[in-house]
C-alpha cells in the first residue's frame, strides 16, 4: 500500500506496529502515539477509509437455502434415534431447511476487503468476542464519511514525552 518512513525498525517490526496502531484507531476512534508513527498511520487509515467508501454499496443480495439444527426452548439441539442396516442405534440431529437473504460482495468489494485485511488485525473485546474491523469499516465508518473527500483523521500535538522527549500526539477519526 503506501510507502512508509523507516521509524528506526526492521520491516516486520515496523509493519506490526503500523497494523496495531491502525487497528487500534479503527476500534477506539483515537490513539495516543508519537508524531512520526501518527503521520504514517494517518496515511494508511485515510487510504483504507477511502477504499471502504468507494466500495461500501457494491454488493448484491440473493436467497440461499440454509440447513439449521432444530433447537428446544433451552437452546439444546434436538436429536432423533436411528437404526443402521446392521442394527446399530445412533443419534442424528434434526435439521430444518430455511431460505435466507444473504449479501454477496462483488469482485471489486471483495478485493477492497482483502486490501483492508492486510492492514488490520482481528482484535477481541474484553468478553472474548472477535471484532471484525473490516465489517466495521464498511458498515459504520464508511457511511459516516460518504460525502467527504479526504480529511477523515485529525492530529493534536500534546508535547514532548517524558524520558526521550519524543513529540506525542493524539490521532483521531474526525
Do 137 and 94 lie in one domain? The reply is: no
In a domain? residue 19:
yes
Do 82 and 71 lie in one domain? The reply is: yes
In a domain? residue 2:
no
Task: Note down the domain range covering 69.
Answer: 61-101
Beta 153-160 vs 95-105: how paired, if at all?
Answer: unpaired
Confidence (pLDDT) at 40: 95
What is the distance between the alpha carbons of residues 161 and 158, in angstroms, rounded to a whole number? 9
18-44: pLDDT as tens digits = 999 999 999 999 999 999 999 999 999
For residue 137, what is the domain's CATH number?
3.90.1030.10
Beta 59-69 vs 89-93: how paired, if at all?
Answer: unpaired
When divided into structural domains, the chain yields a total of: 2
Within the chain, which residues score under 70 in pLDDT? Answer: 1-3
Do 44 and 116 lie in one domain? The reply is: yes
In a domain? residue 3:
no
Amino acid at each position: 500500500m503506501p510507502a512508509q518512513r523507516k521509524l528506526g525498525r526492521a520491516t516486520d517490526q515496523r509493519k506490526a506496529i503500523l497494523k496495531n496502531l491502525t487497528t487500534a484507531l479503527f476500534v477506539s476512534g483515537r490513539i495516543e502515539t508519537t508524531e512520526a508513527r501518527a503521520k504514517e498511520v494517518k496515511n494508511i487509515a485515510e487510504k483504507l477509509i477511502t477504499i471502504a467508501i468507494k466500495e461500501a454499496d457494491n454488493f448484491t443480495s440473493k436467497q440461499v437455502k440454509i440447513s439449521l439444527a432444530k433447537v428446544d426452548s433451552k437452546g439444546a439441539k434436538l436429536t432423533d434415534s436411528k437404526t443402521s442396516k446392521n442394527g446399530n442405534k445412533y443419534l442424528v440431529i434434526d435439521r430444518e431447511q430455511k431460505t435466507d437473504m444473504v449479501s454477496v460482495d462483488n469482485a471489486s468489494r471483495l478485493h477492497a476487503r482483502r486490501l483492508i485485511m492486510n492492514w488490520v488485525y482481528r482484535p477481541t473485546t474484553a468478553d472474548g468476542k472477535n471484532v471484525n474491523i473490516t465489517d466495521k469499516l464498511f458498515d459504520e465508518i464508511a457511511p459516516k464519511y460518504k460525502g467527504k473527500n479526504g480529511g477523515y483523521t485529525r492530529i493534536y500535538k500534546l508535547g514532548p514525552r517524558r524520558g526521550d522527549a519524543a513529540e506525542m500526539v493524539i490521532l483521531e477519526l474526525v
